[in-house]
Structure 1
Amino acid sequence: MKIGLIVFMICASINAFCQNDDKKKHAIDVDAIRETQLTGDVGLRPTIMSAPASAQQVAQLLKKFPGKRYLTFPETRQNSIRLLDSLPKPWLSRTAAELSNFNGSAQPGEYYVFQIGVYAAAQQLDGLTVDIAPLSNAGKVGITDVTCFNTQGVDIAGKSYKKSLTVKSKNVLPLWFGIMVPENAAGLYKGLVHIKPHGLPATTVNINITVKGNKIENHGFNKDDKLSRLAWLNSKIALDNDVTQPYKQLGRKNDEISVLGRTIKLSAEGLPQDIQTYFDKNNQRLLPTSEPILANKMRFVVEQRGKQLQFSPAAISFTDDLPGATRWTTLLKSADVNIAVHGTAEFDGYLGYQLVVTPLKDIMVDDIRLEMPMSPQKSTYMMGLDKEGGFRPEKWNWKWDVLNKDQDEVWMGDVNGGLKIKFKGANYKRQLVNIYYSFGPLNEPESWGNGKKGGIDINTENKGAVLKAYSGSRLLRRGQTYHFNFDLLITPFKLINKSIQFGDRYYHTDIDTTKNFIKTASEHGANIINIHHKKDIYPFLDYPFMDENLPDLKAFIDSSHVHGLKSKVYYTTRELSVNAKEIWAMRSLNNEIIFPGPGINTRTLVNPKGVHPWLAANFKENFIPGWVATFTHGKYKGRQDLAVLTTPDSRMNNFYLEGLDWMCKNIAIDGIYMDDLALDRETMKRARKILDRERPGARIDMHTWNHYNEYGKFASSLNVYMDMLPYIDQLWIGEARNYDTPADYWLIEISGIPFGLTSQMLNKGGNVWRGMNYGITDRLGWFRSKTPEYLWLFWDEHNIEKKEMIGFWDKSNPVRSNNPEVEATIFKGRDEVLISVANYSDKDQKFQLNINWKALNLTPDEVTVEMPEITEFQEKKSIKWNDEIKADAAKGYIIVIKKKVVKVIPLDTNRHG
């Protein structure tokens, strides 16, 4: 949900059916949006293409072309076709020649775009195909790079595809075309476009492009009105197998695979037999010795009449795609069923499996299931399957319910080692997230779900945990295949970067005007500015590169660099502003980019009584209204920016990546801020590569709303986004988040530490005392936040970045509280130790510290102990290390233990006597 949400919301606490049997149920603050006032000026004026012809006028036009079942209307890019259910008035005067000829003018090197509208005059057009001949100049072929975006493209995996189209009767389909004009082109270029619906004659449109003038800069991508950026839809940028920072090349020796801090050994069946982690208990360094994550090998079981079928595995065949990945296949054979195993391992700790079950005859089975045994040490915590993050219960039973629950995955582990498993079928599609889930829910996997027969049981065995994902009884039919797919993520992904944890200090505000951003950030100790959308320099959601705001945005970023600050831009997927110049072309792509929905009948939390009048008048159908940003100050005061939802895993991802690359090269952004993103992990990986290559040291931070409520369908946010975490630098977790929760919830759902990241707090500034248990603060400038600058000053004064963080979760922590309601994390230096203590109770608590002085390399006699004054955090107090201390409800302290400085009096060699 948009982080600007807070400005438009009222707070309503509800009980969110927390099913944590092993801890107290707690209320979750869910922010309910009050009705948005849809009265603002969108700023998009009608064009000559907005006025519809009357039915009588259309009839008169058709009389001029008797017998034509459909008509074609070539059109320039300047007049984006907006009307889909009627003809625009300017077309009424078209002649037969104008219906079959397009004349345009382009510059050398330009990616030139134009349209052809197809009107179904008499019947629905099915199976419509488009063939484009190369353009020739004086009889010689000169331009071969031509495309119709509606019928051909490149998907997010880099694969080319073609498709045919349907045009409803009395409707218009805008066909959008792109031509890459060579830089040395000049003169008149001619080509042909053949448009043919199934069962009807083809129509040929002559294309005449005159190339003249100077070579255009960057193919026209620098000017939004040329619409050249439509070429970005088919981009393959960063589609390679390189490794991103901070990872290393994947290693493989026979059936053993190594990635950063983790190793995987495969069984003869091609499944993980052993997974080891080398991360220390606080994810701050890699150790020479490892700990097992699995208690035994993973098993895929087919059971018939109470007995497990026995399979003979073939030899595993590997294909190494180094440095980033390796892939393998094997075949498991039995008398009645074969199982093809396809596996992938990547450098970040991702394992992907496709298990294809093929019966050799009709066979009834009792169950097909996956068994995943976790070691006792690496099954302490759990998150997912209707269980909020925290301690794992003794047993857990879960059933598929995709209509009411955004749940298909679970993570189990400890801070320094764990596994997330996500279950997929051949019918998998990425769901819509947060309040929009119900418009695009998960598909129940036809394999694992088996018509509601399937489910997942997690039970304690030998002090560890065994996950059994079962599908239940079914008749396997010969000739059919059954896809039991799943993804594994081995956590943590990377070591915690302490320079990011303690050194990245954000100024992040919802104020419309940016005039004082740099001054405020500098004065209060921030070094990174996040430029949110709904700003005078960045007005429109997820479209930072509008011509009208780009000069101001670039000037701001340049100025921030002069002042020693970094500037990042809000840039995510999931929604797109209707102000984007390409929006009409994207709308023409048959729901490929704009997610289809109830249109004007849509009701959401943002729009409980209906959509904005502009959307009703212009989009009408097949859309879902997204965020509404209302400007209250600055150059856009009185305006509203509207957004519509985009389709996950579409070519919009390619467009997004090229936009990121363009911003790196042209306005020198220092990274991106992502908000409840809708990306797949491959696109996220590509985004990381672009930043690593173009802006080394650039940051990606991600915010997520708390999805664990009736609106988000009870999903744990970090489960939803975990496959993105390897490429993210920092989290911002807090919107609709209840911080009055136990320490195990904080550790798993908020801190980011079990995944090799750290987080920051949001809602009402979070809880600064509990936050210090994880080395996190809130952000400067956000609505109702505290001011973290005083903790930043304390961190700098005590060189916290150079100290070793040892968390309360680490049993070897030398400092322990004697009260289970009070937790202690230390930041250990050679001569100084900072102790963060936090009360997780809603009542005052007394506690004493038990200190292992030997482990600290100190003695009680050689140290001083104090609570220093920290503004907005604590008053200065003199204490003794073994005092009984009272911690107020939901608060805490930072205690400093410091080795005394021994003063050495120099010998005065000039004295005599």
Structure 2
Amino acid sequence: MRHPRALGLLTCALLAGSISAAVAQTQTLQDGVQLRWNADQYGNHRYTVAVAKPATAVQATIPWHRRDHHPESVATIVVGPDGQVVGNVVRERIDQAEGVLAFEAKQAGTYAIYYQPYISSGSRNYPTVKYRAPTDTADAAWVKKNRLDDPRRAAKLPQARVTGYQAVDDFDAYTDMEHTATPAEVQRVLAANPGQPWLLFPETREHPIRMFTQLPERWAGRGAGGNFADHALRGEYLGFQVGLWTARAAAQDVRVSFGELHGPDGAAIPAARLTCFNLGGIDYAGKPFTDRLDVAQGRVQPLWMGLDVPADAKPGVYRGTLTISADGVPPRQVPLAITVDAGEAVAHGDNDPSRLTRLRWLNSTLAQNNDLVKPFTAVTVHGAKLGILGRTVMLAPSGLPAQIDSFFDERMTGYTKTPRALLAAPMQLLVQDAGGSTHALNAAGTPKVVVDGPGKVHWQVAGQAGPLRGEVTASLEMDGTLSYAIALTATQAVKLDDIRLEIPLKNDVAQYELGLGRTGSATPDSFAWKWNVENNQDGAWIGAVNAGLEFHLRDEHYRRPLNTNFYHQQPLVMPSSWDNAGAGGITFARDGARYLVKAFSGARTMAAGQTLHYDLVLRVTPFKVIKPAQHFAERYYHGYANLEQIKAEGANVVNIHHATPINPWINYPFLTPVAMKAFIDQAHALGMEVKIYDTIRELSDRSPELPMLESLTGCRIGADGKAAPGPCSEIISAGRGGGFSWLQEHLDGDYIPAWHVPENRDAAVIDAGQSRWHNYYIEGLDWLARNVGIDGLYLDDVAYDRTTMKRVRKVLDAHRPHPLIDLHSASQFDARDGYINSALLYMGLFPYIDRLWFGEEFDYEHTSPAYWLTEISGIPYGLMGEMLQNGGNPWRGMVFGMTNRLPWTGGDPRHLWQLWDAFGIEQADMIGWWVHDTPVKTGNPDVLATSYVRKGDKTLVSIASWAPATTKVKLTIDWKMLGLNPSRVRLVAPAVEGFQPAATFKPGDAIPVEPGKGWLLELEPAR
């Protein structure tokens, strides 16, 4: 994602030319005062007042009904008809209900009173907005002359007439649900409902509840109670609310039940078609859940309901009730009267997001299945031997892997008949008792494997590990992910020296490692690591290019942390089993023919019946073969521009970021579908593809669902019937508020401010890493693919995990002929992000994406080939990618098949693209420097060569140096492998602007290579 300290990706100068600010209306008031103004100077809100004739002082009473709790601490600014700030102003009384000001009026006309001016500082994309404090600018002589220190005199001043309220634009305006009731109005509501601990206010979807600690003036005027009435089309999804105000007492364990709705001529709508989103639903993994909702005294809790009106419902009025109850108070009923109109909704009404029909998407299970995803094959089961694409897993009686084999070849473009074994011995979970004896978790016989679908199998094992009873529930999926839930239960009180997992990898496989605070490099001979909540670290990847293993240690309370600048606001939940209050850790050690990984948890005492969860996630890499021909054929343009110009520059895949005319709002691409479709249709006519920025990590304030999402604050109920640990904010991550002015003025403060685009005043908040918003996201992608025709996604530091990523792939595959997904990340290896490797953070997504763009803050100049291979290129996992920071290093990039993208500064790939086309790189076999029998070698470990071979025709050799100084290399060439006769071959370096001058070498020549640079040499028969 875009760090404030490195804006290489989202330099806003690029955006400024592509989208204009969506700010104020341009109408002019009668006397010349315009509605447009500078919000950074005056704030977003004002009232205008009319002064009939000049006066040394006039009084204005502003009925603003403000939602900010301490308006007396916020400045007001009075501006006259001439556009000048009035200095002589006295704030006689400022409270939430109204403001009374006296000011000098040298002219007749319209005066503007701005009442929430602010100062914005800090990063333009992560602004700090502070509201101006009041200052006394009135001249003492003017105050004395007009006797404004005497309230009786002030009351006799000429009165300025309030003519209206305006906001800097329509979106910033306060709604009728944000005007607070006065204290007197609140008391009238209470007096009308004596003895009631809490009151109910039915409300339509057109008026979403936005204040959670104050009563709206709208409700005070209407009064509490009454029925809910609304209209809906047949087949429409009708959302509505009931506001619960805990006026006199808290409400504990709020519950909602529904009755059947009875319509005309005996027609009925079943109660099952009604739901309350606040109390549960279907989670992002497709599992039903229940939330417990407690509402503290004095709060307003929106209860959002949904009614799925049948498409065949008979038109007419349907009546019924919903019942709201809580502990210790009598249930309360809300009568419902839903008029079903004769018309039929298109797609449930989903084509208009403002109607909030899409709320039903929150409980969607679309693409939540075990079907296959290309290119993966069905999981095969032959007793204890399980097969997936390019790999097999043999299970031990414990249910853990006894052996893992990889059939991927070193080139990563195909498979071998002779597999590469990853393990030197079976994995074991060991329990060491206080007497020094060590017991392996084991069970009799072979695990019984159950097929859940072509893409997944699972098994369960009950076993024993000395004094502990073990229960293993595990699964293997088509992509190579092994998930283990391991429960160890003490049958009696016991003291233990350790519980640990041992992963004995083969030495020849354990070539590279990344994770646990280490960047990608050769595996260390020994290494020790301890748990630390400051770090987003719970595992690592160890392996070779064509055989590797990723592992993560977790427990039953795992939740995905926030990432990209926000890790410390929702860090890892330390697994109580593995961490053991700081006693646990991980060691690596090279031990003869094996490389032993030990994940230990240390000494502890377990009570009789106590259960510890030693959960484990393993991923076997690579996930799939790389496809160099496809990679080189797809040329990326990352920006919004004229499509014919983009095509002329050689690109054929266009990524449309947010903050562009056809995709203006971050992660909410539904408000400009006509313009987006027109652009995509034009691209398709030109033979191009268009992908859009749309991910889950943050959400634009333009989302119509945002007020509803704010209301989802129940605490998840676990299998034991108790509230699970963790935050009670389901979708919008809880935080300290702040950020851009709109967020502070329209949200209730419990959020984390995120990315802000000043050009179109788009501000976002951070989403939770695992929530029902993922279900909405999947439905949204399905809608975009069907209705707009997007060809895929540009993912920019996503928050979701592989469960959602699989669903993304499935919905795009279902609707688009050639969907593409690329993933960008800024380097996460820093203190702010908890020193997590981007490749490790996102490895679970890699099976379902097509390309990497790693990325901002990646160091292309001072890092090793091993770092490039494991952290940037994606090749050991079945992916290829591109470079970003400062344009990357084009010489080093080419040994991994990488360039940068258009139109990003620091590099221009067009000249390399032209060379690719002239050579015919799409018809060549890519043989990387990491292949043991690569046909071209330099003889210098600091100068690497990758060959692009068109056997019997010509070969392109990419040479890049990591040597500290200029060096010379003589190429060792396997001419037979290339199908060339050395006596008839010359080595030609074509001139490539910004890359290399033209040059010619003979086989055996010493080729000079500058540090950090290299060559592209064509080996071609002399003509």
- Normalising by the residue count of structure 1, what TM-score does the alignment of the two structures yield? 0.91
User: Residues 716 and 626 (structure 1 numbering): CA distance in 2 closer, same or farther, change over 3 Å?
Assistant: same
Check whether the contact 2:430–2:441 (CA below 8 A) recurs between aligned residues. no
Distance of 2:251 and 2:915 partners within structure 1: 70
In 2: Cα distance, 1:552 partner to 1:593 partner: 33
Q: Is the 8 A contact 2:482 2:618 kept in 1?
A: yes
Q: In the alignment, which residue of structure 2 is the partner of 1:212?
A: 341
The offset of 1:786, in angstroms, is 1.5
Q: Distance in 2 between matches of 1:623 and 1:849?
A: 59
Which residue is equivalent to 2:567?
437
Match of 2:379 among 250, 256, 273: 250
Corresponding residue SS for 2:793: strand
1:485 to 611, 615, 619: 615
Work out whether 1:362 is the aligned partner of 2:364.
no
Asked if residue 540 in structure 1 is aligned to residue 668 in structure 2, the reply is no
User: Displacement, 1:296?
Assistant: 1.2
Residue 749 of structure 1: which of 856, 860, 871 is its match? 871
Shift of 1:38: 6.0
Partner of 2:230: 104
Structure-1 separation of matches of 2:481 and 2:853: 23
Task: Report how far residue 810 of structure 1 moved.
Answer: 1.5
Instruction: Say which of 949, 954, 965 aligns to 1:843.
Output: 965
The aligned counterpart of 2:856 is: 735
- Cα shift at 1:872: 2.3
In 2: Cα distance, 1:140 partner to 1:868 partner: 79
Mapping 1:630-645, distance limit 5 Å:
630-631=758-759, 639-645=760-766
* Residues 153 and 845 (structure 1), Cα distance of their counterparts in 2 relative to 1, 3 Å cut: same
Q: Secondary structure at the match of 2:254?
A: strand
1:329 is matched with which residue: 453, 460, 465?
Answer: 460
2:319 is matched with 190
1:524 aligns with 2:655: no
Aligned to 2:386, the other structure's residue is in SS state: strand
Query: What's the CA shift for 1:802?
Result: 2.1
Query: Which has the larger displacement, 138-147 or 797-806?
Result: 138-147
1:566 aligns with 2:697: no
Contact kept in structure 1, 2:212 and 2:748, CA below 8 Å: no
What is the match of residue 598 of structure 1?
735
Residue 393 in structure 1 maps to residue 519 in structure 2 = no
Q: Which amino acid aligns with 1:889?
A: P
Instruction: Evaluate the alpha carbon distance shift between residue 587 and residue 37 of structure 1 in structure 2; reply closer, same or farther with a 3 A threshold.
Output: closer
Q: Is the 8 A contact 1:369 1:471 kept in 2?
A: yes
Task: Tell me by how many angstroms 1:792 deviates.
Answer: 1.4
What is the Cα deviation at residue 52 of structure 1?
1.2
Q: How far 1:140 sits from its partner (Å)?
A: 3.7
Q: List gaps (5 residues or longer) in structure 2.
A: 13-121, 130-167, 714-727
Q: Identify if the C-alpha distance between structure 1 residues 833 and 42 changes in structure 2 by more than 3 Å, giving closer, same or farther.
A: farther
**Identical-pair percentage:** 37
Q: Is the 8 A contact 2:629 2:921 kept in 1?
A: no
Q: Which amino acid aligns with 1:77?
A: R
Does residue 74 (structure 1) correspond to residue 74 (structure 2)? The answer is no
Amino acid at match of 2:8: I
Give yes or no for contact 2:9–2:856 (8 Å, CA) kept in 1. Answer: no
- Cα distance in 2 for partners of 1:134, 1:864 equals 84
Quick one: which of 866, 888, 891 aligns to 2:988? Answer: 866
Answering whether residue 295 of structure 2 is matched by residue 167 of structure 1, we say yes
Residue type of the alignment partner of 1:49: M
Q: Is the 8 A contact 2:381 2:449 kept in 1?
A: no
Is 1:713 matched with 2:838?
no
Are the counterparts in 1 of residues 709 and 732 from structure 2 also a CA contact under 8 Å?
no
Q: CA deviation at 1:35?
A: 7.3
Q: Relative contact order: is structure 1 or structure 2 higher (C-alpha 8 Å, sep ≥ 6)?
A: 1
Residue 125 of structure 1 aligns to a residue in which SS? coil
Q: Distance in 2 between matches of 1:312 and 1:552?
A: 61
User: CA, structure 1 residues 377+41, in 2 after alignment: closer, same or farther (shift >3 Å)?
Assistant: farther
Q: Over alpha carbons, which structure has the higher Rg?
A: 2
1:581 aligns with 2:711: no
Residue 539 of structure 1 aligns to which amino acid in structure 2? P
CA distance in 2: counterparts of 1:819 and 1:382, whole angstroms: 23
Give how far 1:175 is off.
Answer: 1.0
C-alpha distance in structure 2 between counterparts of 1:36 and 1:479, whole Å: 50
- Displacement, 1:386? 0.9
- Asked if residue 452 in structure 1 is aligned to residue 566 in structure 2, the reply is no
1:698 maps onto 2:822 in alignment: no
Aligned partners of 1:310 and 1:537: how far apart in 2?
Answer: 59
1:425 maps onto 2:562 in alignment: no
Q: 2:600 maps to what in 1? A: 470
Contact 1:718/1:749 (<8 A) preserved: yes
Secondary structure at 1:196 match in 2: strand
Q: Tell me which residue corresponds to 2:883.
A: 761
In structure 2, what is the Cα distance between the partners aligned to 1:281 and 1:90? 69
Give the deviation of 1:373 after TM superposition. 0.8
Corresponding position of 1:136: 262
- The superposition leaves residues 593-647 of structure 1 with CA deviations (integer Å, 9 ceiling, x where unpaired) of 44443323xxxxxxxxx5222222222322100111122xxxxxxx311000111
Residue-by-residue CA offset, 1:67-111 (whole Å, 9 max, x unaligned): 111111111111111111101111112246xx2301101111111
**2:615 counterpart letter in structure 1:** N
Q: Secondary structure at the match of 1:654?
A: helix
1:448 is displaced (CA, Å) by 0.6
Is the CA contact 1:9–1:33 (under 8 Å) kept in the aligned structure 2? Answer: no
Aligned letter for 1:437?
A: Y
Q: Give me the whole-angstrom Cα distance separating, in 1, the residues matched to 2:888 and 2:625.
A: 25
In 2, the alpha carbon distance for the partners of 1:538 and 1:855 equals 50
| SS in structure 2 at match of 1:206 | strand
User: Does the Cα contact within 8 Å between 2:215 and 2:300 map onto a contact in 1?
Assistant: yes
Which residue does the alignment assign to 1:907?
none
- Name 1:339's counterpart in structure 2: 470
757-766 or 846-855, which moves further after superposition? 846-855
Are 1:615 and 2:617 counterparts?
no
State the shift of 1:765 in Å: 0.9
Counterpart of 1:489 in structure 2: which amino acid?
R
What is aligned with 1:276?
405
SS of residue paired to 2:806: helix
- What 5-or-longer segments of structure 1 have no aligned partner? 11-31, 601-609, 632-638, 902-913
Partner of 1:126, secondary structure, is: coil
SS at match of 2:488: strand
Deviation sequence 1:459-479 (CA, Å, 0-9, x none): 001243110000001112111
Q: 1: CA distance between counterparts of 2:642 and 2:598? A: 53
Report which stretch shifted further, 380-389 or 337-346: 337-346
Equivalent residue number for residue 236 of structure 1: 365
Name the CA distance, whole Å, in 1 between partners of 2:333 and 2:535. 51
- Secondary structure (helix, strand or coil) at the match of 1:448 reads helix
Q: State the Cα distance separating 1:409 from its structure 2 match.
A: 1.1
Q: Does 1:158 align with 2:283?
A: no
Which of residues 771, 774, 787 is equivalent to 2:893?
771
Structure 1 position 310, deviation (Å): 5.5
Q: How many residue pairs get matched?
A: 853
Q: 1:297 corresponds to which letter in structure 2?
A: P
- Equivalent residue of 2:298, what SS? coil
Alpha-carbon distance in structure 2 between the residues aligned to 1:840 and 1:597 = 46
What is the Cα deviation at residue 733 of structure 1?
0.3
Letter of the structure 2 residue corresponding to residue 325 of structure 1:
K
